Amino acid sequence: MLLTITTTHVPATDLGFLLHKNPARAQSTSVSVGTAHVLYPEATESRCTAALLLEVDPIALVRGRSGTRGGSGPEAFTLGQYVNDRPYAASSLLAVALGRVFASARRGTSKERPELAGTPIPLEVALPALSCRGGAAMVERFFAPLGWSVDAAPVPLDDAADWGDSRYVRVRLTGTLRVADALNHLYVALPVLDDSKHYWVSPEEVDKLLRAGAGWLADHPDRELITRRYLAHKGALARQAMARLAEVDDSDPDALDDATAPARTAAPAPGEDDLEVPDRPVPLALLRHGAVLAALRSAGARRVVDLGCGSGALLPALLAEPAFTEVVGVDVSARALEEAARRLRLDRMPERRRERLRLLQGSLTYADRRLAGYDAAVLMEVVEHLDPDRLPALEHAVFAVARPATVIVTTPNVEHNVRYADLAAGVLRHRDHRFEWTRREFASWVQRVASASGYDVRLLPVGVDDPEVGPPTSMAVFTRSSADDGSTPSGVTRGDVA
């Protein structure tokens, strides 16, 4: 089992300081599943490669190890326990070795090169045979959102015979990342892609996952799949991990939607491939994006502002449609905007797409003339983050000053919360929510704002409209009254706007 990490950062041999392993000599460490060796096949000023080689002891793996799956009971004596891929393919076993051998490196500290440890440097990771359920596409899904360029090709079952592809993938990752981040990505990726953890998954695994996933897992588009696979499809642990992930990033309400929707976290039946589970409900966040996009399309909007865009949940979908010629994301949180820029990979975005996007820091409770003159404004899951006494200021800034032709507002329907098995009675969906409205409360706010500011309004459910408690999300689409072309915003003189 082999994994190599290469850098071309000069002097490349500094990699030794970041990995806490001297390039001049090979080191061997005994780990629970065999012996791990770290050696440097090349170590020059311009290029340095560290190799982690795990020599698995298949007998040790089966015998005398309490807590291993198959370590007891009749299955422990089947031939398959001795003759299998474990010694050869990179799998969860390699993650155990990596976790152990590079424990200090994963914490991102280096006595000799403290600054370099915190600096992204050019890296190349190679895994000649990675065990991967879901194949090359799954490798891409895992690593690409983390900033890696992924080159993954399936390994054929037999080069001579035409037997098709094996479950192994040859992987080459390139990117500019901190070494600690790269190691933590791999530490989580190996068991997740392998998807057959060899050891018993205990509640401590949740802590391990969250520690290794700090700073990237909460925002990963496949965080739920990753969490579920990492925790070996133990539903209760996965739910616990998802709830804690949601707390990590309080600008992201979607994570909690995922964690609380019971059907989303149910473990797939044995043998079912979670890449294509047929009846899996669409996540609420995606339904919301779809509903907002549909409303924008039907309004014929071209220049769109996403107010309270957060870390950019909606922005990629907006940019993906050329009909939206200008997309502006606004948020009060600089951190959220930085995160949005990172997630959108702004630095690598093609020029033509980049030109259509702007990210602005600003507060929606202050009249902001930069936001005037757009076709549509989206307030997706934002109003409930404001203290109720700040809402009139937002109403003025959006409906009187910015005054776009269309305003789309979504917000949780609090009545629906009883359908979330994991949400205690009376608890809101997100700890930063200042309130959550019933359908009636939302409707009355919407009607009042519309009639005070000269808009017509339609209310629409998002998600399954439960006959008793209504849909999970309420949406309102405001349309500026046809007599009003927006040129003279009510209650505001032109001077305020320009």
Residues of the shown chain interacting with ligand SAH in the complex, contacts defined by CB under 6 A: 251, 253-254, 308-310, 313, 331-333, 336, 363-365, 380-382, 385-386
Q: Hey, which residues does 3 pair with through a beta bridge?
A: 52
In the DSSP assignment, the letter for residue 26 is -
- Strand, helix or coil for residue 21: coil
**Smallest gap from residue 338 Cβ to ligand SAH (A):** 12
Q: Which residue has the tokens 């057959």?
A: 196
Write down the least CB distance from residue 253 to ligand SAH, Å. 6
Least Å distance, CB 103 to ligand SAH, is 35
Give the burial class of 159: count Cβ atoms within 10 A of its Cβ; 0-12 exposed, 13-18 middle, 19 or more buried: exposed
The DSSP H or E segment spanning 140 is helix 135-143
Long-range contacts of 261-269 (CB under 8 A, 24+ apart): 261/420, 262/420, 262/421, 262/422, 264/224, 265/224, 265/228, 265/235, 265/238, 265/239, 266/235, 267/228, 267/233, 267/234, 267/235, 267/238, 268/233
For ligand SAH, give the closer residue by CB, 175 or 253. 253
Residue 34 or 310 having the CB closest to ligand SAH: 310
**In angstroms, what is the minimal distance from the CB of 311 to ligand SAH?**
7
Q: What are the C-alpha distances in Å from 375 to residues 127, 388, 392?
A: 49, 27, 22
What is the closest distance, in whole angstroms, from the C-beta atom of residue 285 to ligand SAH in the complex? Answer: 7
Cβ–Cβ under 8 Å, residues 102 and 10 = no
| CA separation for the pair 386, 432 (Å, rounded) | 9
**CB-nearer residue toward ligand SAH: 5 or 357:** 357
Pairing of strands 357-361, 406-412: unpaired
Whole-number Å distance between alpha carbons of 356 and 342: 17
Query: At closest approach, how far in Å is the CB of 497 from ligand SAH?
Result: 19
Contacts of 308 (CB under 8 A, 6+ apart): 330, 331, 332, 364, 379, 380, 381, 382, 385
Q: What is the DSSP letter of 283?
A: P
Q: Identify which of residues 10 and 391 has a Cβ nearer to ligand SAH in the complex.
A: 391
Cα(18)–Cα(180) distance, integer angstroms = 8
Question: Least Å distance between CB 113 and ligand SAH?
Answer: 35
Of the two residues 21 and 264, which places its CB atom closer to ligand SAH in the complex? 264
Find all residues with CB under 8 Å of 417, minimum gap 6, and list them. 423, 427, 428, 429, 436
**162 versus 387: smaller Cβ distance to ligand SAH:** 387
Q: Which CB sits closer to ligand SAH, 131 or 406?
A: 406
Name the residue nearer to ligand SAH (CB basis): 194 or 381: 381
CB of 450 to ligand SAH, least distance (A): 21
Strand order in the sheet with 303-307: 357-361, 326-331, 303-307, 376-380, 406-412, 473-480, 455-462
> Rounded to the nearest whole angstrom, what is the least distance from the CB of residue 390 to ligand SAH in the complex?
7
Which single residue brings its beta carbon nearest to ligand SAH?
310
Please give the Cα distance from 404 to 379 (Å, whole number).
12
Smallest separation (angstroms) from ligand SAH to the CB of 249: 10
For ligand SAH, the closer CB: 152 or 397: 397
Q: Tell me whether residue 310 or residue 489 sits nearer to ligand SAH (CB atom).
A: 310
